[in-house]
Amino acid sequence: MHIDGRTRLAGVIGWPVEHSLSPAMHNAAYQVLGLNWAYLPLPVPDLDALFAVVEAIRALPFVGFNVTMPYKQAMLELCDETATLAEMAGAVNTVQCSEGRLIGYNTDGRGLLEALQTGAGFDPAGRSVAVIGAGGAAGAAVTAFILAKAARLAIVNRDVARAECLADRVADYLHGTSVSVYPLEDAGEAVRVADLVVNATSVGMRPEDPSPIPTAWLRQGQLVLDMVYRVASTALMRDAEQSGARAMNGLGLLVAQGALAIDIWAARDSGQSRAPRDVMRAAAEAAVADATGSNGGELE
């Protein structure tokens, strides 16, 4: 990577971010695209620091930045303008910097659809989907499946009030999708009949985490996607495979949402588009291999 006085900046805001795969895959993409950009991890420990960092970015040569846990929902209020998908999801994960203005997007939902198509050949149109969770990642997933014309959508969460808020937020955009809300303890049948089950919670990020749902709720013929990408196989994925379902982790989603962010930034900044997904995937996998090797086999 060559850095000089014309280098533009990008990065990922979150806490923690020391294990993020985004710098590796973004910087690999910039090199292939011939962009004089550098992507940095930006650790932000609390909301006060978030406000300060975001204000500083307005004055620095940033093309944009990504936002990860726990700030995707807070970032929605800090942007000068937000895309409809971000409003529907209730979260921003990608920000375009334009002459001091911050324009918020959510590429998680579109990235999820891309990952499902690329990794499993799955089209949600006319299908039944169960989403576990009601936070920013779940909001992006729900939004994506509505736009993809899923027939039935179940939102499952321990705090049913949060799930109901998510359902209310997307109610005006359904266009034929049936949305139901379930507390976790009552969701067995809704999950069992789903063609696709998506874990959009943080359960599974640690190797010792249990599955967010009972094994008995899974069945042969389902597709199960766990958004977690820091471990190669989560408890949910193992349970799915034992039940005869296909299982995917979140690495494909990570690559796709990051590539879509580059597509947004490059199209506006240099007229380029279509980030190299294959290059980004290879860089992310190499970073996973390095991390698992140094941690004795598991990526934390």
Residue 280 falls within a domain, yes or no?
Answer: yes
Quote the pTM value: 0.91
192 with 166, same domain: the answer is yes
Q: Which CATH number is 76's domain given?
A: 3.40.50.10860
Report how far residue 275's alpha carbon sits from residue 259's, in angstroms, rounded to the nearest whole number.
5
Report how far residue 138's alpha carbon sits from residue 155's, in angstroms, rounded to the nearest whole number.
8
The whole-angstrom distance between residue 113's C-alpha and the CA centroid of its chain comes to 11
| The CA-based dihedral angle spanning residues 160, 105, 178, 224, taken in that order and rounded to the nearest 10 degrees | -80
Residue 178 falls within a domain, yes or no?
Answer: yes
Q: Which CATH number is 234's domain given?
A: 3.40.50.720
225 with 113, same domain: the answer is yes
Residue 300 falls within a domain, yes or no?
Answer: no
273 with 143, same domain: the answer is no
Structural contact between residues 35 and 270, judged by C-beta atoms closer than 8 angstroms: yes
Structural contact between residues 37 and 63, judged by C-beta atoms closer than 8 angstroms: yes
Identify the pLDDT of residue 300.
26
Residue 71 falls within a domain, yes or no?
Answer: yes
Identify the pLDDT of residue 271.
60
160 with 31, same domain: the answer is no
Residue 186 falls in which region: left (phi positive, over 0), alpha (psi -120 to 50) or beta: alpha
Residue 255 falls in which region: left (phi positive, over 0), alpha (psi -120 to 50) or beta: alpha
What is the extent of the structural domain holding 221? Answer: 109-249
32 with 137, same domain: the answer is no
Report how far residue 79's alpha carbon sits from residue 101's, in angstroms, rounded to the nearest whole number.
8
119 with 100, same domain: the answer is no
186 with 124, same domain: the answer is yes
200 with 115, same domain: the answer is yes
Which string of DSSP letters, residue by residue, matches 184-250? GGG-HHHHHT-SEEEE-SSTTSSTT---SS-GGG--TT-EEEE---SSSS-HHHHHHHHTT-EEE-S
Residue 29 falls within a domain, yes or no?
Answer: yes
Give how many domains the chain has, as a whole number: 2
Residues recorded for the chain? 300
113 with 243, same domain: the answer is yes
For the beta carbon of residue 52, count every other beta carbon within 10 angstroms.
12
For the beta carbon of residue 61, count every other beta carbon within 10 angstroms.
12
Residue 2 falls within a domain, yes or no?
Answer: no
Identify the pLDDT of residue 118.
96
Identify the pLDDT of residue 15.
96
Residue 75 falls within a domain, yes or no?
Answer: yes
Helix, strand, coil percentages, rounded to 5, for the chain: 45, 20, 35
121 with 243, same domain: the answer is yes
User: Along the 300 residues of the chain, how does pLDDT read in single tens digits?
Assistant: 788 999 999 999 999 999 899 999 999 999 999 999 999 999 999 999 999 999 999 999 999 999 999 999 999 999 999 999 999 999 999 999 999 999 999 999 999 999 999 999 999 999 999 999 999 999 999 999 999 999 999 999 999 999 999 999 999 999 899 999 999 999 999 999 999 999 999 898 888 899 999 999 999 999 999 999 877 789 999 999 999 999 999 999 999 999 999 999 998 655 666 899 999 999 999 998 887 654 333 332
Identify the pLDDT of residue 198.
98
100 with 132, same domain: the answer is no
238 with 256, same domain: the answer is no
Q: Which residues are the active-site residues? A: 72
